[in-house]
Amino acid sequence: MKTVHDITYDLLRQHGIKKVFGNPGSNELPFLNNLPDDFEYILTLQEAVAVGIADGYAQALGTPALVNLHSAAGTGNGMGALANAWNAHSPLIIMAGQQNRAMLGIEPLLTNVDAAFLPKPLVKWSHEPASPQEVPYTMSRAIHTALSDAPGPVYLSVPYDDWEKPLNEDLTALTKRKVKSARALDNNVLAELLDKIHQSINPVVVLGADVDAAQANDYAIELVEKLNCPIWVAPLASRCPFPTNHAAFKGILPGGIASISQILEGHDLIIVIGAPVFRYHQFEPGSYLPNGADLVLITCDVNEAARAPIGDAWVGDIKPTLKQLAENVVQRDGVMPELTVAKSVVNITTPLKPETFFDILNDIAPEDSIFVNESTSTTDIIWERLTFKSQGSYYFAAAGGLGFGMPAGVGIQLAKPDRQVFVIIGDGSANYSIQALWTAAKYNIPVIFIVLKNGTYGALRWFADVLGTGNVAGLDVPDIHFSALAEGYGVEAFQANTCEEIKDALNKALTLGKPALIEIETWGKLQDEGLNIHNS
């Protein structure tokens, strides 16, 4: 007779979920007992790192990843990382251990009180099974819910004594069922949208992360080339949906209402695909759209469609809907606009300006490299200096929560062993999830971590200027030796501050076949007190 433990692992196996990411506690031990030989447990030193690694892994593969957290405390540790996964539409299955059912009523130590409520609103669905027999059904629903419609995280709380309970019923049918979503537009709705596009005189396309997540980049290129129009990437995009060396590419939009409106001035139709409208950051009052402009949104997320302040919205899965548009839109006359993204000229090399470093990295990185960005105040420079050619080349924290970059890079490299992953991270951001280095070393995951070190929270210094709060305490983080920290976690480290040293360190790291960290001092507050520069 099979147990809940047996059937649940059968179900996970059927869906190709054979890795468990976590940091175990006592409530989780019965689930992890006798882990099947074809499964692998990826140990992290803290729960936020487990969620971050699983997030990167799930995004890179487009399949669910299972995270095992420790009751309420472990869930709390992982919530910051869960915010990024929620906003990235990442299909995570978060499973937390619960206390023994016989004691739940008296709330002993490590009880997850009101477990289903705890992770909301950062999950699509949250549940604690009412009985051991319900556990496999709950896991099945969790897997299908995580992938359906707009993908996203789900949460399960399972009492630890459920796992060894016997199951009398035949659950073969449960382990083999599939749920597929391929929502395209019906003919009448498609005709309405095409009519709006064909009537426009000067359209512009704005693409978001969901285009890259759906692996619909080729259809996006086909659509833009048939429309002969420019393309912008949506503000604060967590992925790159369009090759940055394409003639139509203009750059990434800023995060302010007035700024976006100003940049899109002159376009009568703004076609937004796979992005919220819009993910604003700084408060910058103004008109949502330039005068005379209309907007249409194509999204997989009904919530994003409902909350958009402007324009009409069409809800459908991104890939089939974008395929419909690319195949049915009429070829427009005219010539594709020339590539106009200009690189600023930077001559300062001691300490290096970030622009200089990114030029070096762009020259040395292998053709199909993947870049994970958590150097938040150099984001504009990254989009200007690095080339993203293929699907899945760029990742960024979708909710802006720090601590994403290092663990996500580990998860992405684990999912994509044939592509080199570079994690570009500021010295402020690196401290949020530095424990990810240990997991990279333990499992020999050859990520290259690059810490741009200027001794300050550069993005906050920029935002302080925006808010008019220039005299703020607690913005400096000097005297942290990341190469020493890396070596302590078992990762080979390099310090490189000149152009030649950086080239040498990058080339050595690429030949190691194991994780490496490169620490680089960059131009920052110590050089000009943070005035009018980009800081890492």
Residues designated catalytic = 25-26, 28, 47, 70, 281, 400
H helix and E strand count, the chain: 21, 18
447 vs 407: CA distance, rounded Å: 10
47 vs 488: CA distance, rounded Å: 20
**DSSP 8-state symbol, 234:** P
Tokens of 292: 């005379």
Contact criterion met (CB below 8 Å) for 308 and 240: no
> How many C-beta atoms lie closer than 10 Å to residue 214's C-beta?
24
Contact criterion met (CB below 8 Å) for 208 and 273: yes
7 vs 9: CA distance, rounded Å: 5
- Which amino acid makes up residue 168? N
Contact criterion met (CB below 8 Å) for 39 and 20: yes
350 vs 366: CA distance, rounded Å: 26
DSSP H helical ranges for 331-378: 354-364
488 vs 427: CA distance, rounded Å: 17
Structure-token match 């016989």, residue found: 102
Contact criterion met (CB below 8 Å) for 324 and 185: yes
State the Rg of the chain over Cα. Answer: 24
Give the number of residues written for the chain: 536
Structure-token match 């009398």, residue found: 168
Closest to 417 in 3D by CA, of 392, 445, 440, 398: 445
- CA dihedral of 301, 393, 21, 398, whole degrees rounded to 10: -40
Tokens of 423: 């994690």
- Which amino acid makes up residue 211? V
Closest to 407 in 3D by CA, of 46, 26, 24: 46
Q: Is 372 helix (H, G, I), strand (E, B) or coil?
A: strand
Tokens of 281: 């950051």
Q: Is 47 helix (H, G, I), strand (E, B) or coil?
A: helix
The DSSP result for 53-113, as a single string, is: HHHHHHHHHTS-EEEEE-HHHHHHHHHHHHHHHHHTT--EEEEEEE--GGGGGG--TT--T
Contact criterion met (CB below 8 Å) for 364 and 506: yes
Q: Is 218 helix (H, G, I), strand (E, B) or coil?
A: helix
Helices 47-61, 405-415: axis angle to 10 degrees equals 40
